[in-house]
Amino acid sequence: MHKGIAASSGIAIGCVFLLEEDDFIVQKREIIDEKFEISRFRSALNKTKQEMIQTKKKALQRLGKKHARLFDAYLLILDDTMLRQDTIEMIAKNKVSAEYALQQVMEKVLLFFKEIDDEYFKERGQDIYNVGRKVLRHLLGREKKVLSQLESQVIVVAHNLTPSDTIAMREEKVIGFATDIGGKTSHVAIMAHSLEIPAVVGLKDITKKIKNGDMIIIDGDQGIVILNPDPVTIENYYRKQQIFIAEEKDLEKLKDLPAITLDGQEINLVANIEVPEEIKSVLFHGANGIGLYRTEYLYMNRKDFPTEEEQYESYKVVAKNMLPYSVTIRTLDLGGDKVTQQFKLAPERNPFLGLRAIRLCLKYPDIFKTQLRAILRASTEGKLKIMYPMISGIEELRQANMILEEVKKDLRGKRIDFDNEIEVGVMIEVPSAALVVDVLVQESDFLSIGTNDLIQYSLAVDRVNENVTNLYNPLHLSILRLLKRIVQAGEKAGKWVAMCGEMAADPSVTTILLGLGLREFSMSAVSIPKIKRVIRSIKIKETKQLADEIMGLSDNCQIKKVLRKKEV
């Protein structure tokens, strides 16, 4: 049994699909029959070509001509003498294996392009390298190691997954996953949760202990994985899985009941989404709107920026389908663990403290304006709100609002309709924002607490680092004090305050959050019934007493003791 971090509930039992890190170590191997090696190389080229033609066909169907053109460039690289001829010559001259020759040629090409002081050419070098790797995979017999070509249901085991890998799983046959690294509130974990894929992260070296085709059990509640379990264990876990499914079904019954406390306080339960396709699940789980639409996912798995039109279409679909409810669109929050290719930024040493979210948007106002225009145009189709991520002080809020005003003015000038009354809110997820929340609230229509980042930044605990997960403590007195401060600032200014971080989805803290005065919770749609069940079982008066009691305690052991007592 291997202990990791529980990232997404549920039990998965299946075969391992090991998503290896992409570095192949190719040993030098001398050969006698160079003709045979050259024909192996040609056949690998050919297989790669056929594979690319198939992928191009798929891209044509799904993404249209423009994006499919990218594959023409790859096909040209395959035919280029740089890879083809040089490798053949090296096999013939040095009498080495095809894979070794190709690897040498690829390294040479990469080095050559790296030395050119031009970003464009550097990238072309990487393209040639990537095409070379595909050929290498065939030579090494490692074809089909990509998520998009899965033929049966599998459990993906990987050193690391990026949010874009996870989003690719949406359409694939992935029933669970386990990773060496990662924390509970990493975006990969959040995605797994909303896709309802059981997941355990932060297992440190699971990829070294496992091979393709091994049997594995993922227990996403306990945060454990079991390799090659015996039949009795498998049987037990199948039973656990049935219980989990039955509980989920039971929770579904709450879907159409109101989220109301025993003493009649209504609570607004809304959903977090990453992509418009989630709306079905949002409505299914009984959400009263969308409190956080993470729009940065529109930028993932592609090289170009999404156009205004594309963004407009996505926002329009969400706005329309969610009527009569409202949708809070968060402006681009790239950076941190959500890295995309468009900005071509060099890797940062501390990405979570770097050019992230609103900082990136203020540095690239044209990109920001395109998104704001798309949101404003879509605002006539439903009830949209705008929310800025990672605001750290009033200056950033004013700058963002100034840009928004410019966009509005431009639209008015062009007689393009939008909702003139659109509300604009601020995420409170940086400690400095929480400390000046009384100032920020004056110039915003609402606040939404992003506890994932607020906790990370307040406690100095990297949310994606498995080594410090034990220090990531939502009930730290400092966090409770910040939450109280934010809610009170909202109350005083007559503005509503929501919470959209993962803390809002944790039923063990719902009572405290209600006691602190929170009345809107936004979370992955699947979590809504669980939170609703807690809400429907308590009185506000009791929640206030609990919050007061907890706030009077100074250490975490005492807090946990009190909470445990209340559970009984």
Residues labelled as active-site residues: 187, 500
Span of 143-151, 410-418, 433-441, 449-457 interacting with ligand PEP by CB under 6 A: 449-457
Rg (CA), the chain: 26
DSSP readout, 147-208?
GGG--S-EEEEES---HHHHHHHTTTTEEEEEESS--TTSHHHHHHHHTT--EEE--SSGGG
The entry of ligand PEP, Mg ion, none near residue 500 (CB within 5 to 8 angstroms by kind) is: ligand PEP
Least distance between Mg ion and beta carbon 273 (Å):
15
Nearer to ligand PEP, 218 or 504 (CB): 504
Number of residues that bind ligand PEP (CB under 6 A): 10
Out of 165, 180, 429, 506, the residue judged to bind Mg ion by CB under 5 A:
429
Provide CB contacts within 8 A for 522, sequence distance 6+.
269, 270, 271, 272, 290, 291, 292, 328, 448, 498, 499, 500, 504
Out of 34, 429, 466, 506, the residue judged to bind ligand PEP by CB under 6 A:
429
Nearer to ligand PEP, 14 or 289 (CB): 289
List binders of Mg ion among 295-354 (CB under 5 A).
none
Q: Mark 25-64 with x for binding to ligand PEP (rule: CB under 6 A) and - for no binding.
A: ----------------------------------------
Span of 192-200, 246-254, 443-451, 512-520 interacting with Mg ion by CB under 5 A: 443-451
**H, E, C per residue of 124-146:** HHHHHHHHHHHHHHHHCCCCCCC
Instruction: Note whether 501 binds ligand PEP by CB under 6 A.
Output: yes
DSSP state of 299: G
* Buried-state track 362-389, b at ≥16 Cβ within 10 A, e below 16: bebbebbbbbbbbbbbbbebbbbbbbbb
Instruction: Note whether 453 binds ligand PEP by CB under 6 A.
Output: yes
Instruction: Note whether 452 binds ligand PEP by CB under 6 A.
Output: yes
The entry of ligand PEP, Mg ion, none near residue 294 (CB within 5 to 8 angstroms by kind) is: ligand PEP
Helices (H) and strands (E) in the chain, counts: 21, 16
> Which residue spans within 231-325 are E strands per DSSP?
268-273, 290-294
Least distance between ligand PEP and beta carbon 117 (Å):
35
Span of 88-96, 172-180, 195-203, 444-452 interacting with ligand PEP by CB under 6 A: 444-452
Least distance between Mg ion and beta carbon 334 (Å):
11
DSSP state of 389: S
Instruction: Note whether 274 binds Mg ion by CB under 5 A.
Output: no
Least distance between ligand PEP and beta carbon 519 (Å):
18
Nearer to Mg ion, 60 or 436 (CB): 436
Least distance between ligand PEP and beta carbon 123 (Å):
28
Q: How buried is 346 (Cβ within 10 angstroms: 0-12 exposed, 13-18 middle, 19+ buried)?
A: exposed
Nearer to ligand PEP, 179 or 194 (CB): 194
Instruction: Note whether 450 binds ligand PEP by CB under 6 A.
Output: yes
Least distance between Mg ion and beta carbon 456 (Å):
8
Give the count of beta carbons closer than 10 Å to the beta carbon of residue 420. Answer: 9
Span of 230-238, 311-319, 447-455, 552-560 interacting with ligand PEP by CB under 6 A: 447-455
Out of 201, 322, 500, 509, the residue judged to bind ligand PEP by CB under 6 A:
500
Least distance between ligand PEP and beta carbon 450 (Å):
3
Residue 522 contacts residue 270 (beta carbons within 8 Å): yes
Q: Is the dihedral of CA 351, 357, 363, 367 positive or negative?
A: positive
Token digits of residue 340: 């995309």
Nearer to ligand PEP, 392 or 451 (CB): 451
* Buried-state track 162-182, b at ≥16 Cβ within 10 A, e below 16: bbbbbbbbeebebbbbbbbbb
Out of 87, 451, 469, 524, the residue judged to bind ligand PEP by CB under 6 A:
451
Nearer to ligand PEP, 392 or 452 (CB): 452
Least distance between ligand PEP and beta carbon 308 (Å):
23
Least distance between Mg ion and beta carbon 330 (Å):
9
Instruction: Note whether 453 binds Mg ion by CB under 5 A.
Output: yes
Token digits of residue 155: 């459990």
Tokens 């050019």 belong to which residue? Answer: 355
Task: Write the CA distances from 371 to 38, 226, 360, 533, integer angstroms.
Answer: 51, 45, 13, 37
Residue 513 contacts residue 497 (beta carbons within 8 Å): no
Q: How buried is 345 (Cβ within 10 angstroms: 0-12 exposed, 13-18 middle, 19+ buried)?
A: middle
Tokens 């730290």 belong to which residue? Answer: 476
Give the count of beta carbons closer than 10 Å to the beta carbon of residue 417. Answer: 11
The entry of Mg ion, ligand PEP, none near residue 476 (CB within 5 to 8 angstroms by kind) is: none
Least distance between ligand PEP and beta carbon 333 (Å):
6
Number of residues that bind Mg ion (CB under 5 A): 3
Give the count of beta carbons closer than 10 Å to the beta carbon of residue 115. Answer: 10
Instruction: Note whether 340 binds ligand PEP by CB under 6 A.
Output: no
The entry of Mg ion, ligand PEP, none near residue 501 (CB within 5 to 8 angstroms by kind) is: ligand PEP
The entry of Mg ion, ligand PEP, none near residue 273 (CB within 5 to 8 angstroms by kind) is: none
Instruction: Note whether 333 binds ligand PEP by CB under 6 A.
Output: yes
- The half-sphere exposure of 291 on its side-chain side, counting CA atoms within 13 A, is 30
Q: How buried is 249 (Cβ within 10 angstroms: 0-12 exposed, 13-18 middle, 19+ buried)?
A: exposed
Nearer to ligand PEP, 261 or 452 (CB): 452
Q: How buried is 222 (Cβ within 10 angstroms: 0-12 exposed, 13-18 middle, 19+ buried)?
A: middle
Q: Which of 1, 5, 469 is nearest to 193 (CA)?
A: 5
Which residues are at the interface with ligand PEP (CB under 6 A)? Answer: 292, 294, 333, 429, 450-453, 500-501
Which residues are at the interface with Mg ion (CB under 5 A)? Answer: 429, 450, 453
